[in-house]
Structure 1
């Protein structure tokens, strides 16, 4: 029963991490400021890694991964986008005016 909460917590952290961290892929310090394009690429990578975690948890819990239609993936994409809103707002709120 802990798997859903683990997945939701991991998704919240993964969705916000690219917007909060100044490091590229959380390992390398960029020469200049990390741009929006790099943050979006990291966000997409976190989305894919979270989906892989979800698939692994589903396989562990049920023994198989159920096939999904396109609607499932669209809803998950936008849910991940909503999860990233605190990080985006934090990033935009830190800019000097």
Structure 2
């Protein structure tokens, strides 16, 4: 896989993973359905999916070449990007009026 394709794959995984806690009522996507799922569960899922997305990125980086050592700044920036990508799901869940 080319490095540019790997980058786009990680971005796609990040967009899907960031919005998944807000569009799904099941715990961790496959668990029991909770109606309504509280914000604490959604934030826990968001953190775990953030870690899963990091794992996918590191796995793709290892497949392409050597993994580079990252400092705390990388994780902070990726966390902010992940929260930014989660904004549409948050808006859909908490700020949009749902009828019925």
TM-score between the two structures when normalised by the length of structure 2: 0.88
Deviation at 1:29, TM superposition (A): 3.0
Deviation at 1:95, TM superposition (A): 5.2
Alignment-derived partner of residue 17 in structure 2: 14
Deviation string 1:32-86 (CA, Å, 9 cap, x unpaired) is: 4110000000000100000000000000011x21101111110000000000000
CA drift at 1:31: 4.7
Q: Which residue does 1:41 correspond to in 2?
A: 44
Relative to 1, partners in 2 of residues 1:11 and 1:57: Cα closer, same or farther, differing over 3 Å?
Answer: same
Matching residue within 50, 64, 67 for 1:65? 67
Candidates 75, 84, 89, aligned match of 2:86? 84
Task: Count the aligned residue pairs.
Answer: 95
Q: Distance in 2 between matches of 1:56 and 1:14?
A: 16
Cα offset for 1:2? 1.3
- What TM-score do the two structures reach when normalised by structure 1? 0.91
Counterparts of 1:94 and 1:22, CA distance in 2: 17
Tell me whether 64-73 or 48-57 shows the greater mean CA deviation: 64-73
Structure 1: 4+ residue segments shifted above 6 A = none
